[in-house]
Chains A and B, each alone.
Chain A
Amino acid sequence: MKRSKQLFKLNDKFKLNDRVYISLFKYGVSIVLFILLGSLLIMSQGVDPISATRVLFEGTFGSKRAFGNVLRWTAPCILTGAAASVAFKAGVMNLGIEGQVLLGGFVAGVLGAFLELPPALHILVCVIAGGIAGMLYAVIPAVLRLFFNINEFITTMMLNYVANFLTQYLTQQVLAGGLEVWGYVNMQATPTIQKSAVLPTIIPGTSATLAFPVALLIAFAIAFLYKRTIQGYELKQVGENLRFSKTGGVRVVRSFMTIFLLSGLIAGIAGGIEVIGTYKKFNTGFAAFYGYDGISIARIAELDSIAVIIVSFIWAVLKAGSMQVERVLQVNRLTVTILQYIFVLFVAIDYAGIYNRYQDRKIKKRIREGEL
């Protein structure tokens, strides 16, 4: 009797107090390892890590322009992160965000270049059409999964490659062929979009566009969906325990489809916004890494939309800073990419599980020694 009481107490204590410590420990350990490995990687290229860090911060917070650049990178990170967290939270393994971003970007680029519309409407049309393109592209794996029981992680991954080649084909062969009339030379991109379709900047003189507040809005909307609505709760249930939610009367097929469409829509919007906001034209293959960045951000943020915003900001600081570090100190910008993914690895470790195992061992030891 006494023993079970004691055990219960230990368990209880773990739940109340140690969760915060575990979280702190998790990110603490990851950051320390990140800094250590980063220093090693930077030193291996013959550069002093401290000066590299200084350059990184100068390149991100040093001037208005630099900070604008950070916000510019934050927007796509939040959007792809949101697209990934929506999907993964409901148990849908959408690894095809890159393809959906590409298609959304392509459609927005084409509409931006060829449609004649008043400014605000033009932007709206481009973004929404981009979103719909991404959404429709997500329908393929969804249908294959629901009707033919084909696991979506393979189909989405293959559809990334298909989207890449498809947009390349459309840009280079279909569009470029008819565009010689326009004095169009660059085969790697669609023509520049019209002025009416360019997303306005929020800080004048920088590359920070309206994309940032839009991304914030979408992230908050998703947080609201999951935390405050019944539909969101159902979707979360589907992700956490499919069998339970099926027995409980959740229409799993419908929620599965909804998630796929929503994830594709956000990814498509991300592509559209990137194209009309930053590049002003669709560059083939501009979305390399966007998808896996999004999935990694979502994972670090533990699939929480609000945390996605914070992680995206840090991710963007590293991304914008790495380019500055490469320019000033000739440190390869891939160094930062590598470190980002190594950080993902460290965060993926289940520290709570390790802690539990350690606690178990301690209790077992005490039982063996006759204390309990």
Chain B
Amino acid sequence: MFESILRLSFAVSTFAATIRLSSPILFGAIGGSFNDRSGMLNIAYEAVMLYSCFFSVLGSYLTGSPWMGMLFGVASGFIISVIFGLMVYTYNANNMIVGIALNSSAWGITTLLMVLIFGVRGSFFSDRIVSFKPINIPFLQNIPFLNTLLNNNVILTYLAYVLVIAGYIVMYKTPFGLRIRGVGQNPAAAYTAGIDVKKYRWVSLILMGIFTSISGTYLTLTGISMFSENMTAGKGFLCMCAISIAKGNPLKILLVCLLFGYSQALVLVLGTLSIPTQIVSMIPYVAVILVLFVNGLKSFKGTADIEV
């Protein structure tokens, strides 16, 4: 038993699954890191992702193209982030409660839309939903280990890892990233330096909406080609956790996302053994708390305190 757990935990296929499962969290986390660094706590990831899941499926179903599906998804994510921005930036609503309301209504609205448009409950699948096709990279085919690990993924998987580097460069090597960080760290100082604080907050919010919705597209249009009720099941919150642990640094986000992806891969592979499924399903969520705990060890002073 223990032996087979170890063998499965370190199998190449598990790592390959890790790479696939990390990418949807990566999209949301990298896009959201800008929003986080601009100083706005936004918990609407779950909502953006769920709407995008639905509209990606709808777009792909109507047009037969996964790219159009992605466009539909991104449009929905854009709209949700604009609603969030209107509520929080323009009408001064509490960001936490707007996030909760958006998240909780997303479940209802997407399910209702599914009933109204497709006429089914629970989950919707059809041959007309076209997914992204895996890409076969010829020169990798002859390398045994790397072939399983990296080959035959959809284009979005590779894009996610390109996005990490792009995100890092934009965040730390461009004036745009510097300004966003400045706005988050000290809005008053940024304002005095002539930066339009509102504009940068809006731009970063919309970046979050667009990239998190690509996560939603990834969840629906790679492989499974279906939409089911509340199918994100906390993946949006994982994005948020990754950002919070990495403090918005894209490279650290990559590490955390790989860890989350690995814990999800473990759920898949260990589910085949005779371990109770509930215990296995707990792994990703416990992993989040453990990572936070390890990360928090350095601020442990031996006494309880609240930092102001």
Q: Judge if A159 is at the interface, Cβ distance under 8 Å.
A: yes
Contact B300 A295 (CB under 8 A): no
Residue from B87, B91, B278 having most chain A Cβ neighbours under 10 A: B278
What distance in Å separates the Cβ of B82 from its nearest Cβ neighbour in chain A?
A: 14
Chain A neighbourhood of B91, CB < 8 A:
349-350, 353-354
A344-B296 contact, Cβ under 8 Å, with A147-B304, A350-B92: no
**Neighbouring B residues of A168 by C-beta, 8 Å:** 278
Contacts of A162 in B (CB 8 A): 282, 285-286, 289
Within 8 A of B (CB), among A293-326: 295-296, 299
State in angstroms the CA–CA spacing of A11 and B295 once bound together: 48
> In the complex where A144-B293, A256-B306, A292-B104 touch, is A345 in contact with B93 (Cβ < 8 A)?
yes
* Residue among B98, B115, B286, B299 making CB contact with A332, cutoff 8 Å: B115
A224 proximal to B (CB < 8 A) = no
Instruction: Tell me the chain B residues, 289-308 only, with Cβ under 8 Å from chain A.
Output: 289, 292-293, 295-297, 299-300, 303-308
CA A334 – CA B289 in complex, angstroms? Answer: 32
* CB within 8 Å for A341 and B105 given contacts A147-B300, A173-B278: yes
Mark out the residues of chain A between 149 and 164 whose CB falls within 8 Å of any chain B CB in the assembled complex: 149-151, 153-155, 157-159, 161-162
| Inter-chain contact B297/A334, CB cutoff 8 Å | no
When distances are taken between beta carbons in the complex, the residues of chain B under 8 Å from A182 are none
Given A146-B306, A334-B108, A348-B93, also A166-B282 (CB < 8 A): yes
Nearest to A344 among chain B residues (CB) is B101
Residues of B within 8 A of A252 (CB): 306
Taking CB as reference atom, which chain A residue is nearest B103?
A: A292
Inter-chain CB contacts under 8 Å: number: 144
Residues in A neighbouring B112, C-beta threshold 8 A: 41, 332, 334-335, 338
- Of A41, A148, A256, A289, the residue contacting B293 (CB under 8 A) is A148
Q: When chains A and B are docked, how far (Å) is the Cα of A338 from the Cα of B12?
A: 44
Q: Does any Cβ of A come within 8 Å of B228's Cβ? A: no
Which one of B94, B288, B292, B306 contacts A299 once the chains associate, using CB atoms below 8 Å? B94
Quick check: A296 and B100 within 8 Å, CB to CB? Answer: yes
Main secondary structure on chain A at its contact with chain B?
A: helix
Task: Evaluate contact between B87 and A149: CB separation under 8 angstroms.
Answer: no
Candidates A169, A334, A338; contact of B276 at CB < 8 Å? A169
Residues of A60-96 contacting chain B, CB below 8 A: 93, 95
B241 touches A158 (CB 8 A): yes
CA–CA, A344 and B115, complex, Å: 24
Please state if B105 and A342 are interface contacts (CB–CB under 8 Å): yes
Q: Mark B85-110, 1 if CB is under 8 A from A, else 0.
A: 00100011110111011111100110
Q: State which of A44, A146, A257, A345 has its C-beta within 8 Å of the C-beta of B116.
A: A44
Residue of B nearest to A244 (CB): B308
Q: Please report the C-alpha to C-alpha distance between residue A166 and residue B281 in the assembled complex, in whole angstroms.
A: 10
Interface status of A36 (Cβ within 8 A of chain B): no
Question: What's the dominant secondary structure at chain B's contact region?
Answer: helix
B225 at interface (Cβ–Cβ under 8 A)?
no
Judge if B143 is at the interface, Cβ distance under 8 Å.
no
Q: Roughly how many angstroms separate A243 CA and B293 CA in the complex, as a whole number?
A: 25
Chain B, 246-288, contact with A by CB distance < 8 Å: what is the 0/1 string?
Answer: 0000000000000000000000000000001011011001101
Residue B226 at the chain A interface, CB threshold 8 Å: no
Check: A242 CB closer than 8 A to any chain B CB: yes
Q: How long is the Cα–Cα vector from A144 to B307 in the complex, in angstroms?
A: 13
Which residue from chain A places its CB closest to the CB of B229 in the assembled complex?
Answer: A334
B282–A165 CB distance below 8 A: yes
Q: Is A337 an interface residue (CB 8 A)?
A: yes
Residue A359 is within 8 A (CB to CB) of chain B in the complex:
no
Report the separation of the CA atoms of residues A243 and B105 in the bound assembly, to the nearest whole angstrom.
35
Distance, CA A292 to CA B106, complexed state (A): 13
- A to B CB contacts below 8 Å, 15 in the list: A45-B116, A144-B293, A144-B296, A146-B304, A146-B306, A148-B296, A153-B43, A157-B234, A158-B288, A169-B278, A334-B109, A344-B100, A345-B93, A348-B94, A348-B101
Residues of B within 8 A of A (CB): 43, 87, 91-94, 96-98, 100-105, 108-109, 111-112, 115-116, 234, 237, 240-241, 244, 276, 278-279, 281-282, 285-286, 288-289, 292-293, 295-297, 299-300, 303-308
Seed contacts A154-B237, A350-B93; 18 additional CB < 8 Å A-B pairs = A144-B293, A147-B304, A148-B300, A153-B96, A154-B244, A157-B237, A168-B278, A169-B278, A253-B304, A253-B306, A257-B304, A296-B97, A299-B94, A334-B108, A338-B105, A341-B105, A349-B87, A350-B92
